[in-house]
């Protein structure tokens, strides 16, 4: 089976991380040939950040596109698909790049995983096109959590999507672990200091204003909190400059990190403050490392977190709701059994389980021909 995975870029993000892990796992299968097409590859924007993590078994196809939808981009994707002749085309990017191929190349199956709320992927003309193709079974839609599925079905008025929960390879210790541990110990000024971790790119939907303001307020109240923010674009961008200006001395921006597992293993909690998600890969990483999650009530988090049992879930998106959930974490964190969190991850969200589910969908589509 020939599988073509297509994504916007390989910057550091959840969809990108899933594609790399999934492609590497599928490439291990003897009867499978995996191709990864990346539409944008600008080094200055870190769009090749995860490329070196792709297996040598994978055929890497950099398309070198610029910004903005252009007809020639659609044609080039179509021509490349005709050249590769895949059995499956697995889409992780905006669907408009595939429009020419979806309508004019039908010798393969198209699978579209929506990594966030459907409105973020299927806005404008994309919505009726996706509904049309899905109704005629020329496009298989994949939702990634129960709440994500409910939102997708309401949005498109369809019920023929496939539900496949995201998976993640275990983000274990790297060669830089001791350096990270030393950094965390250095900012943990006393034994009472609690170190929080956020792993998110600098983007409005990640809602870092809420997290920073909540931490600032609790520090003013006397709680000893340190916040580490790992992710790109916090320097020399308008939003990044605003967030750094808002942050106090107890907020530490460390940039994008490939060894994010080291931070999960060293910090006391993982803070997710997003306005919306699908199934955050960072949440799975937190469970895999036994790092207690503290989250806004977004898709994925509401599916996995049992409040005060395996994490803490805010009641809303206000600063009152988030400061309250952080206080509850500080007061009740000793009640969380970290081994149970890790067992929960291993049972439900390993990459082996996720890849098996996708392969079953691919096999089913192939047999239905």
Q: Are residues 190 and 334 in the same domain?
A: yes
Interacting residues of 172 by C-beta distance below 8 A, sequence separation 6+? 261
Distance between CA atoms of residues 108 and 213, nearest Å = 49
Interacting residues of 113 by C-beta distance below 8 A, sequence separation 6+? 15, 18, 90, 91, 92, 142, 144, 164
The CATH number covering residue 263 comes to 3.40.50.2000
**Predicted local distance difference test score (pLDDT) of residue 27:** 97
Q: Are residues 286 and 334 in the same domain?
A: yes
Query: Token pair of 64, please?
Result: 């070198």
Q: Are residues 341 and 356 in the same domain?
A: no
Phi, psi dihedral angles at 95 (to 5 degrees): -70, -20
Q: Are residues 287 and 362 in the same domain?
A: no
Determine how many CB atoms are found less than 10 A away from the CB of residue 369. Answer: 6
Query: Token pair of 122, please?
Result: 């299927």
Q: Are residues 335 and 354 in the same domain?
A: no
pLDDT in tens, the chain (369 residues): 999 999 999 998 899 999 999 999 999 999 999 999 999 999 988 899 999 999 999 999 999 999 887 999 999 999 999 999 999 999 998 899 999 999 999 999 999 999 999 998 999 999 999 999 999 999 999 999 999 999 999 999 999 999 999 999 988 899 999 999 999 999 998 888 999 999 999 999 999 999 999 999 999 999 999 999 999 999 989 999 999 999 999 999 999 999 999 999 999 999 999 999 999 999 999 999 999 999 999 999 999 999 999 999 999 999 999 999 999 999 999 999 999 999 999 999 999 999 999 999 999 999 876
Q: Are residues 97 and 35 in the same domain?
A: yes
**How many angstroms from the chain centroid is the CA of residue 117?**
12
**Predicted local distance difference test score (pLDDT) of residue 44:** 86
Q: Are residues 81 and 217 in the same domain?
A: no
pTM exceeds cut of 0.85: yes
Phi, psi dihedral angles at 200 (to 5 degrees): -160, 140
Instruction: Look at the chain and count its residues.
Output: 369
Domain that holds residue 124: 2-169+350-367
**Predicted local distance difference test score (pLDDT) of residue 226:** 97
**How many angstroms from the chain centroid is the CA of residue 270?**
14
Q: Are residues 147 and 222 in the same domain?
A: no
Q: Are 157 and 179 in contact (CB under 8 A)?
A: no
Q: Nearest CA to 54 among 101, 16, 14, 98? A: 16
Q: Are residues 162 and 193 in the same domain?
A: no
Number of domains in the chain: 2
Helix (H) or strand (E) holding 227: strand 225-230
Q: Are residues 320 and 354 in the same domain?
A: no
Q: Are residues 200 and 156 in the same domain?
A: no
Interacting residues of 167 by C-beta distance below 8 A, sequence separation 6+? 18, 21, 22, 284, 349, 350, 351, 352, 353, 354, 355
Query: Token pair of 333, please?
Result: 């964190």
Q: Are residues 162 and 102 in the same domain?
A: yes
Distance between CA atoms of residues 291 and 199, nearest Å = 12
């Amino acid at each position: 089976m020939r599988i073509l995975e297509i994504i916007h870029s390989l910057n550091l993000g959840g969809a990108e991380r899933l594609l790399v892990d999934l492609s590497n796992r599928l490439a291990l299968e003897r009867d499978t040939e995996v191709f990864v097409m990346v539409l944008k590859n600008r080094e200055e924007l870190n769009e090749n950040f995860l490329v070196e993590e792709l297996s040598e078994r994978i055929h890497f196809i950099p398309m070198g596109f610029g910004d903005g939808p252009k007809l020639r981009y659609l044609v080039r994707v179509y021509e490349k698909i005709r050249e590769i002749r895949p059995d499956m085309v697995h889409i992780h990017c905006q669907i408009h790049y595939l429009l020419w191929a979806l309508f004019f190349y039908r010798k393969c199956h198209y699978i579209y995983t929506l990594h966030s709320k459907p409105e973020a992927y299927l806005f404008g003309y994309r919505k009726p096109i996706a509904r049309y193709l899905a109704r005629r079974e020329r496009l298989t839609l994949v939702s990634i959590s129960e709440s994500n599925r409910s939102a997708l079905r309401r949005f498109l008025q369809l019920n023929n999507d496939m539900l496949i929960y995201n998976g993640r390879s275990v983000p274990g210790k790297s060669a830089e672990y001791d350096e990270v541990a030393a950094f965390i110990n250095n900012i943990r000024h006393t034994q009472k200091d609690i170190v929080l971790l956020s792993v998110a790119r600098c983007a409005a939907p990640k809602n870092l204003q809420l997290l920073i303001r909540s931490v600032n307020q609790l520090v003013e109240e006397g709680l000893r909190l340190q916040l580490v923010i790992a992710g790109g674009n916090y320097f020399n961008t308008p939003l990044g400059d605003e967030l750094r200006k808002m942050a106090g001395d107890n907020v530490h921006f460390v940039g994008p990190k490939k060894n994010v597992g080291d931070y999960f293993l060293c910090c006391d909690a993982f803070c997710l403050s997003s306005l919306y998600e699908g199934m955050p890969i960072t949440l799975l990483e937190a469970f895999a490392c036994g790092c207690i999650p503290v989250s806004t009530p977004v898709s994925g988090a509401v599916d996995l977190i049992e409040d005060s049992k395996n994490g803490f879930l805010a009641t809303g998106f206000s600063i009152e709701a988030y400061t309250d959930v952080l206080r509850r974490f500080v007061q009740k964190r000793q009640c969380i059994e970290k081994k149970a969190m890790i067992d929960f991850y291993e049972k439900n969200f390993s990459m082996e389980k996720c890849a098996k589910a996708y392969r079953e969908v691919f096999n089913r589509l192939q047999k239905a021909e």
